[in-house]
Amino acid sequence: MIHKLFKLTLAILFACTFIHLQAQYKLKQHPNVVIILADDLGYGDLSCFGQKNWQTPNIDKLAEEESKLTSMYTPVPYCEPTRDSLLTGSYPQRHKLVLNPNPEKTSNFQKYRGGDSIGLQESEYLLSQLLKSYGYTNKIIGKWHLGHQAKFLPLKRVFDEYLGMPYSNDMRPVILLENEKVIEYPVVQSTLTKRYTQL
């Protein structure tokens, strides 16, 4: 009898602890995660890394208050494979994307969806999917360059919102997408960085 009572007490304690932890998990606010990937940004281009000719106070503040990574490298010196590796955690040799998608491979843009069909494979598990499984909302601002065909765009890859250009700003046509809709063509690039940062 005492043995059964002990088991019952343990079961009740376990159930109460589980319910408490589950409630705590639901109430717990997740920290914001901001990842900045900047093409052609050198190690010494930020004032928090010693740049004296210009100041980058907002990024310096992030480095001071959060994390400052001093040994982070890209797998290749160009866009698509690096972005793919960031989202998948895999080297290009594994995710097999070693070229940049290019909308200019054909003269027929088919309503801004011409060019090649290179892009982030549907079979890859992404950082956006992992964050989503923990209740995060995912937003991407800026250059995507992981495939410009409709099936490769951010909203198809567990991002909730997107504002940006689907490829490099020197590829044609230069378009600006909001989610999956073209909202500007041609893009006024002189104001684009300011518009991105005001979101």
In tens, the pLDDT along 91-127 reads 998 888 888 888 886 544 445 456 888 899 889 999 9
What's this model's pTM, rounded to 2 decimal places?
A: 0.76
Domain around 63: 33-72
Do 49 and 86 belong to one domain?
no
Q: Among the three residues 57, 72, 87, which one is the final residue of a domain in this structure?
A: 72
Same domain, residue pair 118 and 197: yes
Higher pLDDT, 72 or 64: 64
Q: Same domain for 52 and 126?
A: no
On whether residue 11 sits in a domain, the answer given is no
Look at residue 10 and tell me if it is in a domain.
no
pLDDT interval class at 14 (50, 70, 90): very low
- Residue 173: asked if its preceding bond is cis (omega within 30°), the reply is yes
Residues 113 and 68 in one domain: no
What six digits make up the tokens of 78? 């160009």
Give the pLDDT band (50/70/90) at residue 23.
Answer: very low
- For residues 63 and 117, membership in a common domain is answered with no
Torsion sign (Cα): 137, 177, 117, 89: negative
Pair 48, 139 in one domain: no
Q: Measured over all CA atoms, what is the biggest interatomic distance in the chain, rounded to whole angstroms?
A: 83
What is the number of structural domains in the chain? 2
Does residue 9 form part of some domain?
no
Question: What length does the chain have?
Answer: 199
- Give the catalytic positions in this structure: 79, 145
Q: What is the pLDDT of residues 32-57, one digit of tens each?
A: 888 888 888 887 899 999 999 989 99
Shared domain check, 95 and 59 = no
- pLDDT of residue 5 exceeding 70, the answer is no
Same domain as 175, residue 108: yes
Q: What's the pLDDT at 151? A: 92
Kindly state whether residues 85 and 180 are assigned to the same domain: yes
Same domain, 142 and 181: yes
Residue 155 and residue 82 in one domain: yes
Q: Which residues contact 36 (CB under 8 A, 6 or more apart)?
A: 59
Say what percent of the chain tops pLDDT 90. Answer: 46
Mean pLDDT computed over every residue of the chain = 82
More confident residue, 62 or 11: 62
SS3 186: coil
